[in-house]
Structure 1
Amino acid sequence: MDSFAAGAIAGITEVITMYPLDVIKTRSQLMVGKSMGTFASLRNIVKQEGVGRLYRGILPPILMEAPKRATKFGANDLWGQFYRKLFQMEKNNQSLSILNGASAGATEAIIVVPFELVKVRLQDKKSAHLYLGTVDCLKKIIKQEGILALYNGLEATMMRHIVWNAGYFGVIFQVKARLPAQPEMLNSFIAGAVGGCVGTVLNTPFDVVKSRIQNSPRTLLPAKYNWSIPSLFIVAREEGFWALYKGFVPKVLRLGPGGGILLVVYNSLMEFFRKYKLTNPTGQIPAST
């Protein structure tokens, strides 16, 4: 339970700090044709729509971050225990770190899809006016497209999370093994930031098509973007290969440092929980004197 609690708190800390970059990233990914640069987009949103628009749709990520990051780190630990037992290994190695991360990513994706769907619809400039807010968006999706529409993009979301988590946790293992033992907090930030950057390089194409798929309302007509692999080819063929990396700059600016913040907060909380249990083995709060 400690890893789930630490992951939840770490996730909320990261999303509050880095959310405006996620808004810019999503808009870039949904735009067909050439998109603005990161800072130009930031200025444009503030000038035309106000500062508050940078936090439009933040409620779903806030609600999502606790179960999402709790699942990310908790599932990574649980899958690690499972695979170590399965392969009769005492400690993680590079291959197990990647396998643990990929398995945790698949588990995490199942939790986050409905939240991601609502967030994408609220962040898109073209469709944002259709919804009064998070709850209204949720109600209209269910009413107009059916409750199963909340899992639109599940396969693409799983691909995105499997690839990112495999890269993130795999790189963390390698980087920490090559850094001096101290200071631990700095090491965690460096390892998490490098892991976040590598995970972002690997998974951005899947993130682009996920945003396109989730922003396509379910109708009787087949959607242009449906499954991740065919959608990758559609985007590359129609807009060029580098269109698969739309939104990369704000995404890596968020998930690079954000990956470091996640790991620092997570490891710090796990250490706090460990020390607390050592000093309070019964789990009871000492009575005041």
Structure 2
Amino acid sequence: MAAKQALSPVFLKHILVMYPLDVVKTRVQLQTGKGGGADAYTGMLDCFQKIIRNEGFSRLYRGITAPILMEAPKRATKFAANDKWGKFYRDLFGQQTMTQSLSVLTGASAGATESFVVVPFELVKIRLQDKASAGKYNGMVDVVVKTVRNEGLLAMYNGLESTLWRHILWNAGYFGCIFQVRQLLPKADTKKGQTMNDIIAGTVGGTVGTILNTPMDVVKSRIQNTIKVAGQTPKYNWAWPAVATVAKEEGFGALYKGFIPKVLRLGPGGGILLVVYTGVMDFFRKMRDGTA
């Protein structure tokens, strides 16, 4: 508990600083088609400028309550799941220590586990970040009430499949890269040196994970922002068919809409995550061994 209390402000500060990048990423991802227009976003900076000029600076923080409330259960699930899956796979394959293959498998499994916690918060966040939501929802609770009332309780889990793929790919790339980068870096002799190594490895892992999972993030945003109507099949419904639809209609590059603001947030965020993850796991291991 002490470790969580000490480290949680790190993630809170990260959310507060980086959240506008997430809003911009979502706006660009939800922009469909190849056409332009006065209201179309031509890139990250253009999106920032148009949101501030046309909607006000505060719009860059609309929906931030959802990720703040999500942070504690999300990180707790990620840390616990990664530790438990790691032990499970080491026992299953008779390995005393982690290998890169086991790191990838463990990360993917932890990502899938984490997804079940994340989906409802992500749906609320996406719908509040959308430009068209300004007149639809008054806040997080209003999104939940209207979604459940109009689309049913299970609608809060719209996009679960694409979220599973998004987190499986990111975590597999992230933890797999961390293992490899740590092997390549010079061994640290001090705690400060180890922290720096973790920042480097985590940033590389976060960048690679983002490269791998951005197409799934694009379709997830569109799936979760689609209002379910009885008797109608949504255009974006299942993850891989949605990827094919986006690529066919808008070109392969459209699957990487919002990549720059996303990687600017999750690259450094991956470094912070690894430092925190290492600190938390070390703390719990000391508690288990009675040395804390």
- State TM-score, norm by structure 2: 0.90
Q: Distance in 1 between matches of 2:85 and 2:17?
A: 29
Task: Please name the residue that 2:163 is paired with.
Answer: 157
CA distance 1:39–1:88, shift in 2 (3 Å): same
Structure 1 residues 106 and 234: CA distance shift in structure 2, 3 A? same
Q: CA RMSD in A?
A: 2.2
User: Any conservation in 2 of the 1:12–1:66 contact (CA below 8 Å)?
Assistant: no
Partner of 1:210: 220
The reply on whether 1:252 has 2:263 as its aligned counterpart is yes
* 1:38 paired residue number: 44
For the residue of structure 2 that corresponds to 1:127, the secondary structure is: helix
Identity of aligned residues (%): 60
Partner of 1:240: 251
CA distance in 1, matches of 2:82, 2:69: 21
Q: 2:20 matched to which residue of 1?
A: 20
AA of the residue aligned to 2:29: Q
Shift of 1:126: 1.1
Structure 1 pair 74/277, CA: closer, same or farther in 2 (3 Å)? closer
The residue number in structure 1 matching 2:279 is 268
Cα separation, partners in 2 of 1:74 and 1:172, compared to 1, 3 Å: same
Shift in Å, 1:14: 3.1
Return the match for 2:124 from 118, 121, 143: 118
- Contact 2:216/2:243 (<8 A) preserved: yes
Aligned 8 A contact 2:33 2:249 in 1: no
CA distance in 2, matches of 1:156, 1:2: 35
Q: Give the structure 1 partner of residue 186 of structure 2.
A: 180
Instruction: Please name the residue that 2:234 is paired with.
Output: 223
Aligned mates of 1:128, 1:262 — CA distance in 2: 32
Counterpart Cα distance in 1 of 2:286 and 2:163: 37
Deviation at 1:74, TM superposition (A): 1.6
Q: State the AA in 1 paired with 2:249.
A: E
Does 1:29 pair with 2:29? yes
Counterpart of 2:204 (choices 187, 194, 204) is 194
**What amino acid is the match of 1:20?**
P
Q: Cα gap change, 1:2/1:171 in structure 2, threshold over 3 Å: closer, same or farther?
A: farther
Deviations 1:229-257 (A, max 9, x none): 10011101111110000000000011001
- 1:72-105 deviation line (CA, Å, top 9, x unaligned): 1221111001111111110000000000000001
Q: What is aligned with 2:37?
A: none
- Aligned equivalents of 2:7, 2:276: Cα separation in 1: 8
TM-score relative to the length of structure 1: 0.90
CA 1:96–1:273 in structure 2 vs 1: closer, same or farther (change >3 Å)?
Answer: closer
Look up the SS of the partner of 1:224 in the other structure: coil
Partner of 2:72: 66
* 8 Å contact kept, 1:106–1:162: yes
Distance 1:213 1:6, change over 3 A: farther
Residue equivalent to 1:144: 150
User: Hey, what's the Cα distance between the residues in 2 that align with 1:158 and 1:181?
Assistant: 35
Count how many residue pairs are aligned between Structure 1 and Structure 2.
281
Q: Is the 8 A contact 2:3 2:279 kept in 1?
A: no
Following superposition, the deviation at residue 15 of structure 1 comes to 2.1
Q: Deviations over 1:143-172 (max 9, x none)?
A: 111101001111010000000000000001
Structure with bigger RCO (C-alpha 8 Å, 6+ apart): 1
Distance 1:82 1:190, change over 3 A: same
Choose the corresponding residue for 1:104, options 98, 102, 110: 110
With over 3 angstroms needed to count, the CA separation of the structure-2 counterparts of 1:92 and 1:23, relative to structure 1, is same
Gaps in structure 1 of 5+ consecutive residues = 284-289
Gaps of 5+ in 2: 35-40
Alpha-carbon distance, 1:190 to partner? 0.6
Alpha-carbon distance change, 112 to 30 in structure 1, aligned in 2, over 3 angstroms = same
